[in-house]
Structure 1
Amino acid sequence: MANDKKILIAYASRTGSTEKLAQAIADGIRKVGDVSVDVKRAKDVKPEDAVSADGYAFGSHSAFEYMGGELKLLFEELYNVRNKVSGKPVLLFTSGHGGQVAALESMDRVVGVFNPHWVKPGVAVEGMPGEADRAKAMEMGAKLADAVKKYKYIIV
Protein backbone atom coordinates (compact mmCIF):
# COMPACT_ATOMS: atom_id res chain seq x y z
CA MET A 1 0.00 0.00 0.00
CA ALA A 2 1.08 3.55 -0.66
CA ASN A 3 0.43 4.49 2.97
CA ASP A 4 2.51 1.67 4.41
CA LYS A 5 4.97 2.52 7.12
CA LYS A 6 8.40 0.93 6.89
CA ILE A 7 10.62 -0.51 9.60
CA LEU A 8 14.32 -1.11 9.14
CA ILE A 9 15.90 -3.97 11.08
CA ALA A 10 19.69 -3.60 11.14
CA TYR A 11 21.79 -6.19 12.93
CA ALA A 12 25.30 -7.54 13.48
CA SER A 13 25.57 -11.30 13.96
CA ARG A 14 28.59 -13.55 14.39
CA THR A 15 27.02 -16.98 14.85
CA GLY A 16 23.54 -16.51 13.41
CA SER A 17 21.73 -16.08 16.76
CA THR A 18 21.14 -12.35 16.33
CA GLU A 19 20.11 -12.89 12.72
CA LYS A 20 17.46 -15.38 13.90
CA LEU A 21 16.21 -12.80 16.41
CA ALA A 22 16.04 -10.21 13.62
CA GLN A 23 13.95 -12.60 11.51
CA ALA A 24 11.60 -13.32 14.44
CA ILE A 25 11.12 -9.58 15.04
CA ALA A 26 10.41 -9.19 11.31
CA ASP A 27 7.81 -11.98 11.51
CA GLY A 28 6.08 -10.09 14.33
CA ILE A 29 6.11 -6.89 12.29
CA ARG A 30 4.60 -8.70 9.29
CA LYS A 31 1.61 -9.77 11.41
CA VAL A 32 0.62 -6.10 11.74
CA GLY A 33 -1.10 -4.62 8.71
CA ASP A 34 0.12 -1.61 6.76
CA VAL A 35 3.74 -1.99 7.92
CA SER A 36 6.57 -3.34 5.79
CA VAL A 37 9.96 -4.46 7.02
CA ASP A 38 13.46 -4.41 5.55
CA VAL A 39 15.99 -6.72 7.27
CA LYS A 40 19.68 -5.97 6.62
CA ARG A 41 23.06 -6.63 8.10
CA ALA A 42 24.31 -3.38 9.64
CA LYS A 43 27.22 -3.24 7.18
CA ASP A 44 24.75 -3.16 4.27
CA VAL A 45 22.63 -0.27 5.59
CA LYS A 46 23.08 3.12 3.97
CA PRO A 47 22.07 6.36 5.70
CA GLU A 48 19.28 6.85 3.14
CA ASP A 49 17.83 3.44 4.17
CA ALA A 50 17.50 4.72 7.71
CA VAL A 51 16.18 8.15 6.73
CA SER A 52 13.38 6.57 4.65
CA ALA A 53 12.29 4.24 7.48
CA ASP A 54 9.58 5.09 9.99
CA GLY A 55 11.02 2.96 12.79
CA TYR A 56 13.93 0.70 13.64
CA ALA A 57 15.03 -2.47 15.35
CA PHE A 58 18.78 -2.52 15.99
CA GLY A 59 20.49 -5.69 17.15
CA SER A 60 23.90 -7.11 17.84
CA HIS A 61 25.72 -10.01 19.33
CA SER A 62 27.39 -9.34 22.66
CA ALA A 63 31.00 -8.40 21.98
CA PHE A 64 32.72 -8.29 25.36
CA GLU A 65 29.55 -6.79 26.85
CA TYR A 66 29.32 -4.21 24.07
CA MET A 67 27.61 -4.10 20.69
CA GLY A 68 29.48 -5.52 17.70
CA GLY A 69 31.68 -3.15 15.73
CA GLU A 70 29.55 -3.51 12.61
CA LEU A 71 26.57 -1.95 14.39
CA LYS A 72 28.69 0.72 16.05
CA LEU A 73 29.99 1.77 12.63
CA LEU A 74 26.42 2.08 11.39
CA PHE A 75 25.54 4.34 14.32
CA GLU A 76 28.56 6.52 13.50
CA GLU A 77 27.27 6.85 9.91
CA LEU A 78 23.76 7.66 11.10
CA TYR A 79 25.05 10.41 13.34
CA ASN A 80 25.45 12.55 10.20
CA VAL A 81 21.69 12.25 9.52
CA ARG A 82 20.56 12.19 13.16
CA ASN A 83 18.06 15.01 12.66
CA LYS A 84 16.27 12.86 10.04
CA VAL A 85 16.08 9.72 12.20
CA SER A 86 15.40 11.48 15.49
CA GLY A 87 12.21 10.74 17.36
CA LYS A 88 11.25 7.55 15.52
CA PRO A 89 10.32 4.33 17.35
CA VAL A 90 13.27 2.04 18.18
CA LEU A 91 13.52 -1.50 19.55
CA LEU A 92 16.88 -2.97 20.59
CA PHE A 93 17.86 -6.65 20.68
CA THR A 94 20.92 -8.75 21.42
CA SER A 95 22.16 -12.30 21.82
CA GLY A 96 25.29 -13.94 23.13
CA HIS A 97 26.86 -16.19 25.69
CA GLY A 98 27.16 -13.68 28.49
CA GLY A 99 27.04 -9.92 28.57
CA GLN A 100 23.85 -9.55 26.53
CA VAL A 101 22.25 -7.10 28.96
CA ALA A 102 25.42 -4.98 29.03
CA ALA A 103 25.52 -5.05 25.22
CA LEU A 104 21.87 -3.94 25.15
CA GLU A 105 22.73 -1.11 27.54
CA SER A 106 25.62 -0.02 25.31
CA MET A 107 23.27 0.21 22.33
CA ASP A 108 20.74 2.09 24.48
CA ARG A 109 23.33 4.73 25.40
CA VAL A 110 24.45 5.27 21.81
CA VAL A 111 20.97 5.23 20.24
CA GLY A 112 19.84 7.70 22.91
CA VAL A 113 21.71 10.38 20.93
CA PHE A 114 19.00 10.04 18.27
CA ASN A 115 16.26 10.94 20.77
CA PRO A 116 14.24 7.82 19.94
CA HIS A 117 10.70 6.92 20.87
CA TRP A 118 11.69 3.78 22.81
CA VAL A 119 9.85 0.50 22.38
CA LYS A 120 10.78 -1.46 25.50
CA PRO A 121 11.77 -3.83 26.86
CA GLY A 122 14.56 -4.76 24.54
CA VAL A 123 15.14 -8.42 23.73
CA ALA A 124 18.23 -10.10 25.22
CA VAL A 125 18.74 -13.82 24.53
CA GLU A 126 21.43 -16.23 25.64
CA GLY A 127 22.71 -18.39 22.79
CA MET A 128 20.55 -19.49 19.88
CA PRO A 129 16.95 -18.30 20.31
CA GLY A 130 14.50 -21.00 21.38
CA GLU A 131 10.75 -21.04 20.84
CA ALA A 132 10.04 -18.83 23.88
CA ASP A 133 12.69 -16.33 22.72
CA ARG A 134 11.23 -16.35 19.21
CA ALA A 135 7.73 -15.73 20.60
CA LYS A 136 9.00 -12.77 22.68
CA ALA A 137 10.85 -11.35 19.67
CA MET A 138 7.71 -11.63 17.54
CA GLU A 139 5.67 -9.95 20.28
CA MET A 140 8.14 -7.06 20.43
CA GLY A 141 8.19 -6.80 16.62
CA ALA A 142 4.41 -6.38 16.65
CA LYS A 143 4.73 -3.82 19.46
CA LEU A 144 7.26 -1.88 17.35
CA ALA A 145 4.95 -2.01 14.31
CA ASP A 146 2.05 -0.72 16.41
CA ALA A 147 4.24 2.12 17.70
CA VAL A 148 5.26 3.04 14.16
CA LYS A 149 1.63 3.12 13.04
CA LYS A 150 0.56 5.31 15.98
CA TYR A 151 3.54 7.50 16.67
CA LYS A 152 3.63 11.02 15.22
CA TYR A 153 6.99 12.60 14.66
CA ILE A 154 8.26 15.61 12.81
CA ILE A 155 11.14 15.41 10.37
CA VAL A 156 13.15 18.63 10.16
Structure 2
Amino acid sequence: MLERKRLLIVYHTQSGNTGRLAEAVLRGALTVDETETVIKRAFDAGSDDLLACDGLLLGTPENFGYMSGALKDFFDRTYYPCEGRLTALPYGLFVSAGNDGSGAVREVGRIANGYGWKPAAAPLVIRNEITADDLTRCEELGAAMATGIALGIF
Protein backbone atom coordinates (compact mmCIF):
# COMPACT_ATOMS: atom_id res chain seq x y z
CA MET A 1 0.00 0.00 0.00
CA LEU A 2 1.34 3.43 -0.92
CA GLU A 3 1.99 5.97 1.79
CA ARG A 4 -0.51 8.81 1.78
CA LYS A 5 0.79 12.20 0.75
CA ARG A 6 0.56 15.04 3.25
CA LEU A 7 -0.98 18.43 2.60
CA LEU A 8 -0.11 21.17 5.09
CA ILE A 9 -2.37 24.19 5.52
CA VAL A 10 -0.75 27.09 7.37
CA TYR A 11 -2.80 30.21 8.04
CA HIS A 12 -3.26 33.21 10.27
CA THR A 13 -6.50 34.86 11.25
CA GLN A 14 -7.28 37.67 13.60
CA SER A 15 -10.76 38.87 12.64
CA GLY A 16 -11.83 35.32 11.80
CA ASN A 17 -12.23 35.84 8.05
CA THR A 18 -9.08 33.98 7.01
CA GLY A 19 -10.00 31.29 9.54
CA ARG A 20 -13.33 30.77 7.73
CA LEU A 21 -11.45 30.46 4.44
CA ALA A 22 -8.98 27.99 6.00
CA GLU A 23 -11.83 25.85 7.32
CA ALA A 24 -13.34 25.76 3.82
CA VAL A 25 -9.97 24.82 2.30
CA LEU A 26 -9.70 22.05 4.89
CA ARG A 27 -13.22 20.77 4.12
CA GLY A 28 -12.29 20.46 0.47
CA ALA A 29 -8.97 18.75 1.18
CA LEU A 30 -10.62 16.23 3.49
CA THR A 31 -12.76 14.96 0.61
CA VAL A 32 -9.62 13.33 -0.82
CA ASP A 33 -9.03 10.11 1.11
CA GLU A 34 -5.63 9.50 -0.48
CA THR A 35 -4.17 12.60 1.18
CA GLU A 36 -3.54 13.27 4.85
CA THR A 37 -4.28 16.92 5.62
CA VAL A 38 -2.80 18.83 8.53
CA ILE A 39 -3.92 22.37 9.40
CA LYS A 40 -1.99 24.68 11.70
CA ARG A 41 -2.04 28.31 12.64
CA ALA A 42 1.11 30.08 11.49
CA PHE A 43 2.48 30.58 15.01
CA ASP A 44 2.02 26.84 15.72
CA ALA A 45 3.61 25.50 12.52
CA GLY A 46 7.34 24.93 12.20
CA SER A 47 10.13 23.40 10.18
CA ASP A 48 9.20 19.81 11.05
CA ASP A 49 5.68 20.37 9.70
CA LEU A 50 7.02 21.93 6.53
CA LEU A 51 9.61 19.21 5.93
CA ALA A 52 6.97 16.50 6.39
CA CYS A 53 4.56 17.83 3.76
CA ASP A 54 4.19 17.06 0.06
CA GLY A 55 2.15 20.19 -0.66
CA LEU A 56 1.39 23.45 1.10
CA LEU A 57 -1.52 25.89 1.22
CA LEU A 58 -0.91 29.25 2.87
CA GLY A 59 -3.65 31.55 4.14
CA THR A 60 -3.24 35.15 5.22
CA PRO A 61 -5.22 38.30 5.70
CA GLU A 62 -4.04 41.34 3.84
CA ASN A 63 -2.52 43.59 6.49
CA PHE A 64 -1.40 47.06 5.40
CA GLY A 65 -1.03 45.74 1.84
CA TYR A 66 1.15 42.85 3.04
CA MET A 67 0.83 39.33 4.47
CA SER A 68 0.14 38.91 8.17
CA GLY A 69 3.03 39.22 10.60
CA ALA A 70 2.30 35.68 11.78
CA LEU A 71 2.81 34.22 8.31
CA LYS A 72 6.00 36.26 7.91
CA ASP A 73 7.13 34.88 11.29
CA PHE A 74 6.49 31.34 10.01
CA PHE A 75 8.71 32.07 7.02
CA ASP A 76 11.39 33.63 9.23
CA ARG A 77 11.47 30.59 11.54
CA THR A 78 11.50 27.95 8.80
CA TYR A 79 13.58 29.38 5.97
CA TYR A 80 17.11 28.50 7.13
CA PRO A 81 16.28 25.11 8.68
CA CYS A 82 14.52 24.15 5.41
CA GLU A 83 16.84 25.92 2.97
CA GLY A 84 17.47 23.80 -0.10
CA ARG A 85 15.33 20.94 1.19
CA LEU A 86 11.95 21.84 -0.32
CA THR A 87 12.79 22.66 -3.92
CA ALA A 88 9.74 22.29 -6.19
CA LEU A 89 7.32 21.89 -3.27
CA PRO A 90 3.88 22.69 -4.72
CA TYR A 91 2.08 25.48 -2.92
CA GLY A 92 -1.02 27.62 -3.14
CA LEU A 93 -2.19 30.80 -1.45
CA PHE A 94 -5.51 32.18 -0.25
CA VAL A 95 -5.87 35.77 0.94
CA SER A 96 -8.66 37.57 2.77
CA ALA A 97 -8.33 41.13 1.49
CA GLY A 98 -9.92 44.44 2.31
CA ASN A 99 -8.21 46.00 -0.72
CA ASP A 100 -6.90 44.17 -3.78
CA GLY A 101 -4.60 41.67 -2.02
CA SER A 102 -1.85 42.19 -4.58
CA GLY A 103 0.81 43.17 -2.03
CA ALA A 104 0.25 40.01 0.02
CA VAL A 105 0.28 37.86 -3.12
CA ARG A 106 3.44 39.50 -4.44
CA GLU A 107 5.40 39.19 -1.20
CA VAL A 108 4.37 35.60 -0.43
CA GLY A 109 5.35 34.76 -4.01
CA ARG A 110 8.77 36.34 -3.56
CA ILE A 111 9.41 34.35 -0.39
CA ALA A 112 8.10 31.12 -1.94
CA ASN A 113 10.47 31.68 -4.84
CA GLY A 114 13.32 31.97 -2.32
CA TYR A 115 12.40 28.55 -0.92
CA GLY A 116 12.29 27.18 -4.46
CA TRP A 117 8.60 26.26 -4.26
CA LYS A 118 6.44 26.04 -7.34
CA PRO A 119 2.94 27.49 -7.54
CA ALA A 120 0.33 24.76 -8.07
CA ALA A 121 -2.64 27.12 -8.33
CA ALA A 122 -3.31 30.77 -8.98
CA PRO A 123 -3.61 32.77 -5.74
CA LEU A 124 -7.17 32.94 -4.48
CA VAL A 125 -7.96 36.46 -3.26
CA ILE A 126 -11.27 36.94 -1.47
CA ARG A 127 -12.16 40.61 -1.21
CA ASN A 128 -14.34 42.20 1.45
CA GLU A 129 -17.31 40.16 2.72
CA ILE A 130 -16.98 36.39 2.37
CA THR A 131 -19.79 34.83 0.35
CA ALA A 132 -20.97 31.25 -0.04
CA ASP A 133 -19.37 31.26 -3.50
CA ASP A 134 -16.04 32.30 -1.94
CA LEU A 135 -16.21 29.41 0.50
CA THR A 136 -16.97 27.03 -2.37
CA ARG A 137 -13.92 28.33 -4.25
CA CYS A 138 -11.81 27.67 -1.13
CA GLU A 139 -13.18 24.13 -0.86
CA GLU A 140 -12.30 23.60 -4.52
CA LEU A 141 -8.76 24.86 -3.89
CA GLY A 142 -8.31 22.42 -1.00
CA ALA A 143 -9.71 19.49 -2.98
CA ALA A 144 -7.65 20.31 -6.08
CA MET A 145 -4.42 20.62 -4.11
CA ALA A 146 -5.04 17.38 -2.18
CA THR A 147 -5.92 15.54 -5.40
CA GLY A 148 -2.91 16.95 -7.23
CA ILE A 149 -0.40 15.83 -4.63
CA ALA A 150 -2.11 12.44 -4.20
CA LEU A 151 -1.83 11.78 -7.94
CA GLY A 152 1.66 13.24 -8.25
CA ILE A 153 0.47 15.91 -10.69
CA PHE A 154 2.37 18.68 -8.92
SS of the residue corresponding to residue 32 of structure 1 reads coil
* 1:105-147 deviations in Å (ceiling 9; x for gaps): 2111111112223122111112342110011111111111122
SS of the residue corresponding to residue 135 of structure 2 reads helix
Matched residue, 1:67: 67
List runs of 5+ in structure 1 lacking aligned partners. none
Q: Which amino acid counterpart does residue 72 of structure 1 have in structure 2?
A: K
Shifted more, 123-132 versus 8-17: the winner is 123-132
What does residue range 4-153 of structure 1 map to in structure 2 within 5 Å?
4-80=4-80, 81-151=82-152
Distance 1:152 1:99, change over 3 A: closer
Q: Which amino acid counterpart does residue 51 of structure 1 have in structure 2?
A: L
RMSD: 1.8
Q: TM-score, normalised by structure 2?
A: 0.91
* Cα distance, 1:6 vs structure 2: 1.0
Identical pairs, percent: 25
Q: Which amino acid counterpart does residue 115 of structure 2 have in structure 1?
A: F
List runs of 5+ in structure 2 lacking aligned partners. none
- The answer as to whether partners of 1:11 and 1:60 remain within 8 angstroms in 2 is yes
* Cα distance, 1:70 vs structure 2: 0.7
* 1:65-98 deviations in Å (ceiling 9; x for gaps): 1101110111112211132222111011110211
Tell me how far apart the structure 2 counterparts of residues 67 and 46 of structure 1 sit (CA, whole Å): 18
SS of the residue corresponding to residue 43 of structure 1 reads helix
SS of the residue corresponding to residue 138 of structure 1 reads helix
